[in-house]
Structure 1
């Protein structure tokens, strides 16, 4: 964690330099700038230092760099906190002692770099430590002995993959083909390749076969020598690559390159393999999707997924009982054990081997079922080693991001937006260099997915990952590694005592399963250095407790409900991320949190009422994300700001969500020029009194960075709005959700003409009238169309009206007669999703499917998008939309703030 600690310390120094209320003398400023240069040097070393090196001296040095960075950051943050709570705002901290410690580390690093340069000149090494390449005619056994029964057992759930790979190996194509197998560690990639490699029919198809295990560090010379050895050929001088090429030329060969980690390794190897139209094949296994795609640009790629529950149980039985059957009294608990292995063959095989040696009783098996991952790690060191390979090979900037996932409990779908906001607040991402921090965070999520360390769960309408899961084994690895690195502590018991050395606990997470317990909060007196406090369950909500965490950057406690905003939070001057559940207005003193980036306020629905954001929030220039349900943003022109504060622009603000009756004045929009996402609700009673013109939505066209916009009107049967909904949408808009605004269908052309619109959701009388006939040359880029809760009866359209449409979702449109038959000829449509529609609509959808199938679109599907969870979520939001009048009938319950962002985000046809 040295790299993450270094990045965080550099960010602290930058914040001191730009702090609006602290005066730096010239001498102190020069010292800080000099210190920053030393840290830049150490950062470059850590970036160039192989992250997978296992040299003990280098590991020890990395820990010393980490501890020194922690110590320096703690000292500076404590001094900053002291200054901000005093009248004297002049920086007086002496940083020379800290600089001397860093200078000592710089000297050691310089010496190491000199030694490395000498070794490279002599050609004795290419990395800190090289692992011997394993090349042989027969592949090593993956997880167990090589008996025929074991081979059969380990192929459970892989039959279809194996058949496809064998067909590709023995196919008629004479061209050289590269077949990539990709998946997480322990999922069975090498096992699958081994079975294909040893298949008798495959065996007789090739003149030469060789199996090369690359691993993370490799030597091309060793690989070439080993390939020649496998062909019983001797090397001739230094031209080993040429020798390999000449011995393979003109012959049909099968080469398995097992466990390859980067594209440069493939570039080093591929020149040795001739393509003589002999039908040769190369099978490549990797954990990294980018490497697989790079080596197999033609698309011959097999993404290996986790086993389902049935295959997991079949594999477990085969491992424990062989050809026998499981006793009836163990079947139920046995299936639970198999399910708790999470579909990972490595975990199932290890647990199966353990169970085969234990007493066959329900009590023994129950203890295993309750602690599957613990038994896996304790039973076989190979499991930890396999997972550690993936972690060790992560780039430095990704390691902290990965370990931070351990802050969340098991068996939970993780929100990308929540996690990435925390990463940004922690300072893991460094500087953006032309990109937004949010874009960098999304890239990190994609990298973890490509490296098979997380599992994609849901996408949003734009195809980006909205939520993901992580396998229990990897999550346990995260937690153990984070604890070892003094990075994170999980409170797993109400009797938990904090360490007497508080610097060892940088982050603390309280998990949901202990929400009814009362914790020993007296032990928290020693936790002043904690940077993240994440409560995922209920615990005694004493606001004074927050005062014991003076240096917090991240405070997430939406499961702890406060009756009003806890003012003690205002003393946590280092905060960058707040997510709390409380009712009432946010006090103006929130401006003390000058570095705040993320503000999330979830109201207690049983205490309804409109909340107000203080007008002073307009001078909080570091804000990036504001999500406050039912909150009203006051006009900055009403504030008595001084001349300097009147000019403050929130240039970093990306998202405004959950706001109420927002008035788009020119003054407001000038302060948020880079806003990308807006989610606003309007009270129909206010609209009846003030009409749409009062809210000045025509100014929206001036937000040239806006990508996603949601405008919803709170339904109220007692009120009707006769004024016209007039708005000028910016051309940059990609996603638009409208609800209750009652636009006549014939006036939808203003939306259809938006040049970049890809997702359109019309909901709850967003449009009025019974007939819709779109014009030509509209909706040219539209990919997703959602029609929900509309009175539409006749829809007259051809496929040409929506030339790019991929997913069409129709829900609760009870009057609609049919879907236009012209969609049967669409060249882009892949999915029609329906829920609570007339039978005639279903019939028309199936007719469209038949037409699509006749054109060869075998992937076209008609699905039922109903979900009880989404329906209950919809009911919650309906209750929330009448929040102002809900004092008499507030029966709704609170939901997780994370399901806020778009309660129908996965109702656009994306299949989890």
Structure 2
């Protein structure tokens, strides 16, 4: 991480140097260049920081370099924050400038000295580095081997084994990729495939190869010696391994075997895709050999912590991602591992303690095995209680150290540019679902993505790519995806989060409060006011500060709170931490519901989030935040309307603006957005007469637009007549909310040519003329209708012809007809989720056969006039979830239990949820 500290500091210093007078600015830019050169030398040295981890002198240099980089960055930022710092119009300012220049020159000299000495030291310690790295890897791999789940203890994967065996024996895939985080049971699953009876019968030859982290494709060929005619023939050895002649012969032998015989090859623990791809290319490089020839009879199975991407391989893989064990299977595995030789059963006392300890494992098989083996040696309840108390305290981390070492390997193997992205997630609340959009915008504000942009990418594109890389490395777990396939929400496994926080603390990357000490030097902090006092940390150099108030139950406080808890004097925050780049306020209240004017002091701020709060008045000083990229004020729930100052036009670098529902109408009378040329998101803005003159001036880069409370047809017309609709095609999501008039079908038809519009939400009456029916863009993946009052079911069936539609939501009188029949012609051929809510006039619903062939989820909520569920549902075999809420008892009783009249319609659906006002039943 040392080179990353230098890189970010150099980047920030260089960005801000233009705001300083010439003498200081030139020294700042020179230091920035020196830091960049040093950063490159560290990266070029490969694993220098890891190989010299035990060299105290080198570590001391790294600490000093970090200190220099931080002090220089603070010096530049502080000068910019001071009053009239660009003019230095008096002697005091000139004196400060001379002092700053002198300090920066001193920093440069020390950086050059360290770089020179470090280069010499690095050269002489080359062999030491190799020894240290290989030794550490050996210890980690031994720990992993010792803690792997035994083949005999197979729990919770039986169905996966059966399904993957069928895939392996079919010709539909070239092979199977088993992917998951460290300790999630990848190798155990692969071994069960390898040793399966049907697999043994099907394949003539098998080979299992356990790979090292730094494996080489050519030199691993000798490890396929379990295949026939593949043993060394004494053809020669150069002392360092097989000769090139031997390797070439082996490659040809393997190539011949795979194409002429039925072979199964398992490659366990693929860390790097490049040598794997190289091996495949070598096997397929002969003109007479193709992938279809090789994989007609033979198959490859591999396990990896990384998901393969299309760029990694051109083969057709079946991807299986390992999942955490549920509570039932976790308990079964634990019982098998903790049972001693006498077969002693766990009584009630032991079981209660075991369940508490198992919760820390969060379904990770490796952790469960480790815990079971530990407790297997403990025969008394007192010893179990002692282990339990250790797990609850700081000592608990030591019990899982071998597992942590295994998981830490995944972090060590990350590219250097992904490491800060991963560590940053340690700031976010434990056990929380993390919105991907919020996280990516924080990364951008911190500067993590700037140096990684590829040609044609925006910062948001780069952040999205980096997040996908973390997913591919199985560092984070995907909770949900959008219907366009993008990651929507993520989470960290508890043990991976522990790794994240431990590494981040050791590197002084972040601090979580309450902390053991107020004397912290990290640049990032998260403070949970429900767990600690209101005292602020002493470190005034913070760049990221996340303030929250989350109770021990995990419930977020905020919104309509009547008590005095969670109140904070934010003016003190703004006065103390003037160098902030990221500020997120979640669940914090102010005394009078007003944001202090001192917010304007934070002139370095790039990201400002205000959520779950009582703040309803923003100061005009927000217009001073000229570097602001994101203002997220969307998730706010208060009793009174919000007042916004007309100063957003001053924030010329703003890219994302999220505004709340409760804005006052007169607030938006003279709003200007014409100067925000980089604006990509304008979400929740209140409609008004500003639209008549500003809509055509909105940024052509706009991709997401939500305008609420549109009060006249002229205002709505201005949207469809704007250049972003008429001339450009950059909008991905459009949401419009209007009242008091109807949308004309002519206006909606202007969207029909938009190829990039994926999401559309319409909230208001729509006029559907028989001679000119409503027409929706064929590019849509998600469509939501509210209050449209469509009466003709044929309009809904026309929606079913949209070729890409995956989600359809009909809510709150969007359809006011009494009958809807989904016909074969409508098809809804790609639809995966259908949601019907608050459609009281819908009485009869019919589904013809061969419709909605990919439907996975159906929700019916408060459609109180609906008499019964459609008979046609029983032919939709893909349906996984049926969610029934707030429906009449007479409706619900029709498919409750075997006696229900319509039970035969839903009995094939795995998950049926029925909830009324009093009870909830799950089938």
Q: How high is the TM-score relative to the length of structure 1?
A: 0.79
Equivalent residue in structure 1 for 2:215, among 203, 213, 218: 218
Confirm or deny that 1:342 pairs with 2:370.
Answer: no
3-state SS of 1:711 partner: strand
Task: Please name the residue that 2:577 is paired with.
Answer: 549
Alpha-carbon distance, 1:259 to partner = 1.0
Distance 1:291 1:658, change over 3 A: closer
How does 1:135-154 map onto structure 2 within 5 Å? 144=146, 150-153=150-153
Alpha-carbon distance, 1:507 to partner = 0.9
Confirm or deny that 1:383 pairs with 2:403.
Answer: yes
Confirm or deny that 1:558 pairs with 2:586.
Answer: yes
Alpha-carbon distance, 1:288 to partner = 0.5
Task: Please name the residue that 1:833 is paired with.
Answer: 859
Task: Please name the residue that 2:777 is paired with.
Answer: 754
Partners of 1:734 and 1:756 within 8 A in 2: yes
Partners of 2:350 and 2:381 within 8 A in 1: yes
Alpha-carbon distance, 1:738 to partner = 4.0
Confirm or deny that 1:571 pairs with 2:598.
Answer: no
Confirm or deny that 1:445 pairs with 2:467.
Answer: yes
Task: Please name the residue that 2:812 is paired with.
Answer: 789
Alpha-carbon distance, 1:398 to partner = 0.9
Distance 1:466 1:362, change over 3 A: farther
Task: Please name the residue that 2:159 is paired with.
Answer: 160
Confirm or deny that 1:463 pairs with 2:485.
Answer: yes
Alpha-carbon distance, 1:508 to partner = 1.0
3-state SS of 1:843 partner: coil
Partners of 1:655 and 1:678 within 8 A in 2: yes
**Cα deviation per residue 1:790-826 (whole Å; 9 max; x = unaligned)?**
2233346645445654433222223224445357345
Confirm or deny that 1:184 pairs with 2:194.
Answer: no
Aligned partners of 2:170, 2:793: CA distance in 1, in Å? 55
Aligned partners of 1:15, 1:387: CA distance in 2, in Å? 36
Distance 1:848 1:78, change over 3 A: same
Confirm or deny that 1:309 pairs with 2:327.
Answer: yes
With 831-840 and 778-787 compared, the bigger mean Cα shift is at 831-840
Alpha-carbon distance, 1:71 to partner = 2.7
Equivalent residue in structure 1 for 2:878, among 843, 856, 859: 859
3-state SS of 1:73 partner: helix
Partners of 1:253 and 1:281 within 8 A in 2: yes
Partners of 1:53 and 1:128 within 8 A in 2: no
**Cα deviation per residue 1:311-366 (whole Å; 9 max; x = unaligned)?**
00111111112554321233234233323311100111111122223354389449
Task: Please name the residue that 1:642 is paired with.
Answer: none
Partners of 2:668 and 2:687 within 8 A in 1: no
3-state SS of 2:568 partner: coil
Alpha-carbon distance, 1:634 to partner = 8.2
With 662-671 and 67-76 compared, the bigger mean Cα shift is at 662-671
3-state SS of 2:584 partner: strand
Alpha-carbon distance, 1:679 to partner = 2.2
Aligned partners of 2:296, 2:679: CA distance in 1, in Å? 59
Distance 1:611 1:835, change over 3 A: same
Aligned partners of 1:486, 1:98: CA distance in 2, in Å? 21
Partners of 1:7 and 1:427 within 8 A in 2: no
Aligned partners of 1:162, 1:531: CA distance in 2, in Å? 48
Alpha-carbon distance, 1:739 to partner = 5.2
**Cα deviation per residue 1:118-148 (whole Å; 9 max; x = unaligned)?**
99xxxx99999668999xxxx99965589xx
Task: Please name the residue that 1:528 is paired with.
Answer: 540
3-state SS of 1:453 partner: coil
Distance 1:11 1:752, change over 3 A: farther
Aligned partners of 2:296, 2:329: CA distance in 1, in Å? 38
Distance 1:700 1:798, change over 3 A: farther
Task: Please name the residue that 1:709 is paired with.
Answer: 734
Distance 1:847 1:221, change over 3 A: closer
Distance 1:589 1:294, change over 3 A: closer
Alpha-carbon distance, 1:207 to partner = 6.7
Distance 1:655 1:226, change over 3 A: same
Partners of 1:615 and 1:633 within 8 A in 2: no
Distance 1:380 1:669, change over 3 A: same
Partners of 2:674 and 2:699 within 8 A in 1: no
Aligned partners of 1:353, 1:748: CA distance in 2, in Å? 75
3-state SS of 1:664 partner: helix
Confirm or deny that 1:238 pairs with 2:238.
Answer: no
3-state SS of 2:479 partner: strand
Alpha-carbon distance, 1:835 to partner = 2.7
Aligned partners of 1:738, 1:168: CA distance in 2, in Å? 40
Aligned partners of 2:771, 2:884: CA distance in 1, in Å? 26
Q: How high is the TM-score relative to the length of structure 2?
A: 0.78
Distance 1:749 1:817, change over 3 A: farther
3-state SS of 2:244 partner: coil
3-state SS of 1:560 partner: coil
Partners of 2:367 and 2:400 within 8 A in 1: no
Ranked by relative contact order (alpha carbons within 8 Å, sequence separation 6 or more), the top structure is: 1
**Cα deviation per residue 1:714-770 (whole Å; 9 max; x = unaligned)?**
7xxxxx55797985665256245545411134489686243533221002x133436
**Cα deviation per residue 1:422-444 (whole Å; 9 max; x = unaligned)?**
11111111154432222222222
Equivalent residue in structure 2 for 1:744, among 745, 763, 767: 767
Task: Please name the residue that 2:77 is paired with.
Answer: 77
Task: Please name the residue that 1:100 is paired with.
Answer: 109
Task: Please name the residue that 1:256 is paired with.
Answer: 266
| Structure 2 residue runs without a partner (length 5+) | 237-242, 285-292, 550-564, 888-923
Distance 1:100 1:727, change over 3 A: farther
Task: Please name the residue that 1:879 is paired with.
Answer: none
**Cα deviation per residue 1:647-701 (whole Å; 9 max; x = unaligned)?**
9731222222232234323435424332221222217xxx3xx665488334445
Partners of 2:174 and 2:317 within 8 A in 1: no
Distance 1:360 1:407, change over 3 A: farther
Task: Please name the residue that 1:643 is paired with.
Answer: none
Partners of 2:477 and 2:491 within 8 A in 1: yes
With 6-15 and 775-784 compared, the bigger mean Cα shift is at 775-784
Task: Please name the residue that 2:424 is paired with.
Answer: 404
Partners of 1:46 and 1:396 within 8 A in 2: no
Equivalent residue in structure 1 for 2:302, among 260, 284, 293: 284
**Cα deviation per residue 1:610-658 (whole Å; 9 max; x = unaligned)?**
412x22220211112222313369899969xxxxxx9973122222223
Alpha-carbon distance, 1:472 to partner = 0.5
Distance 1:775 1:308, change over 3 A: closer
With 691-700 and 381-390 compared, the bigger mean Cα shift is at 691-700
Aligned partners of 1:710, 1:176: CA distance in 2, in Å? 41
Aligned partners of 2:295, 2:622: CA distance in 1, in Å? 71
How does 1:348-367 map onto structure 2 within 5 Å? 348-358=368-378, 360-361=380-381, 364-365=384-385
Distance 1:482 1:207, change over 3 A: same
Partners of 2:173 and 2:317 within 8 A in 1: no
3-state SS of 2:882 partner: strand
Task: Please name the residue that 1:481 is paired with.
Answer: 503
Aligned partners of 1:469, 1:748: CA distance in 2, in Å? 50
**Cα deviation per residue 1:15-38 (whole Å; 9 max; x = unaligned)?**
3256xxx4643x655545444444
Aligned partners of 1:200, 1:539: CA distance in 2, in Å? 62
Task: Please name the residue that 1:321 is paired with.
Answer: 339
Distance 1:471 1:207, change over 3 A: same
Partners of 1:746 and 1:772 within 8 A in 2: no
Aligned partners of 2:131, 2:702: CA distance in 1, in Å? 45
Distance 1:694 1:200, change over 3 A: closer
Aligned partners of 2:392, 2:511: CA distance in 1, in Å? 21
Alpha-carbon distance, 1:367 to partner = 6.4
Confirm or deny that 1:734 pairs with 2:757.
Answer: yes
Alpha-carbon distance, 1:284 to partner = 1.2
Task: Please name the residue that 2:640 is paired with.
Answer: 608
Task: Please name the residue that 2:524 is paired with.
Answer: 507
Distance 1:210 1:506, change over 3 A: same
**Cα deviation per residue 1:229-263 (whole Å; 9 max; x = unaligned)?**
99652453332422323554446654332111122
